[in-house]
Amino acid sequence: MNVLEKIATVIADHTGGDASTITETTTFEELGVDSLDVVEMVMRFEEEFGVELELEEKFETVGALAKFVESKIA
């Protein structure tokens, strides 16, 4: 499972959605994710990937987040 797929799975688990519908261009707004959701998911992403993610980072799309995570784990 690649980074994007893992992120999509975490988001789907959190929102009750379907991971297969989440793509690189899916926005967090489209997913109905609010700031509390972001904080909770960031903690899960940090656990999943073993990286620290700064909450100051603002990502419009799932793909942008995936690229950022990939840069942290590379």
- Ramachandran angles phi, psi of 38, nearest 5°: -60, -45
34 assigned to active site: yes
> b/e string for 15-26 if b means 16 or more Cβ within 10 A?
beeeeeebeeeb
Q: What is the pTM of this model?
A: 0.86
Per-residue pLDDT band at 72 (split at 50, 70, 90):
confident
Residue 35, pLDDT > 80, answer: no
Ramachandran assignment for 10, one of left (phi > 0), alpha (psi -120 to 50 degrees), beta (any other):
alpha
pLDDT of 24 reads: 96
Find the Cα–Cα–Cα–Cα dihedral 69, 3, 70, 47, rounded to 10°.
40
User: Which position among 13, 18, 34, 37 bears the catalytic label?
Assistant: 34
Considering only residues 53 and 57, tell me which one the structure prediction assigns the higher pLDDT.
53
pLDDT of 55 reads: 67
Residue found by looking up tokens 């999943």 in the block: 48
- Mean pLDDT along residues 45-67: 85
